[in-house]
Amino acid sequence: MPRFAANLTMLFNEVPFLDRFALAAKAGFQAVEFLFPYAYAAEEIRQRLDTHGLALVLHNLPPGDWDAGERGIACHPNRVDEFRAGVATGIHYAKGLGVGQLNCLAGRAPAGVSGEVLHQTLVANLQFAARAFKEAGLRLLVEPINTFDIPGFYVSRTAHALSLLDAVNADNVFLQYDIYHAQRMEGELAATITQHLRRIGHIQLADNPGRHEPGTGEINYPFLFAHLDRLGYSGWIGCEYKPATTTTAGLAWATAFMQR
């Protein structure tokens, strides 16, 4: 059966971040993920992971100025030095936290930059990160994100992300497949997962509309979970959704699958 990781950026957010690890473990999760660790010392987070017996399965590279609305800088030609410094920071945290893979947010396409330059910049940055990650024993992920939630995001479809992976041509770079984002942009969830499973390094979920927990929208999650089992997917599925009410009240769907 699927293995679920609690996304602590979005779940249990009624309490301070460092207190969410205990709640995730109490709810039955064996793993967690989150957007960014950089506001805390790695030692603080590692202590929570170890205390509660949790694995960390994912976090992102530094995204630029998140609070100002930036959602990654990897495609920005005037931010290459900043991106490369962020790769070093990400690796430092990954080593301290024991996580094996990090996601690279491509970012919104900056105004006035040609598609060719955006592509060249992103590929070169991903190649740089892939080499550094290889030396550190890490996997690099690339995630398409829907342009309804983040207008102008440069990589929004599976095919585009896979074409980037082809251009990067590194054996430690994989697709991060977010079911919610894929449903909003293209649908064909089961067929896409089947076709590209070997290139998928991590899966995330939320239902649509609303980006709430499974069972609140149109996506047939029991079918998709069974489908992933039949395909032999052995990775984690990150629960990156906004609880419709409270996190605990909305966990019945996960409890049912975790107990099977």
DSSP 228: H
Contact call for residues 63 and 71 (beta carbons, < 8 A): yes
* 160: helix, strand or coil: helix
Tell me how far apart the alpha carbons of residues 239 and 241 are, in angstroms, rounded to a whole number.
Answer: 6
Amino acid sitting at position 219: I
* Cα three-residue angle 136-11-51, rounded to 5 degrees: 60
CA proximity to 161, closest of 178, 175, 147: 175
DSSP alpha helix (H) spans, 27-178: 42-51, 80-97, 115-136, 158-168
Question: Which residue matches tokens 């550094």?
Answer: 132
CA proximity to 95, closest of 43, 153, 140: 43
Q: Which residues pair with 60 in a beta bridge?
A: 103
Catalytic residue selected from 116, 135, 143, 213: 143
Active site residue 240: yes
The whole-angstrom distance between residue 82's C-alpha and the CA centroid of its chain comes to: 21
Active site residue ranges: 143, 240
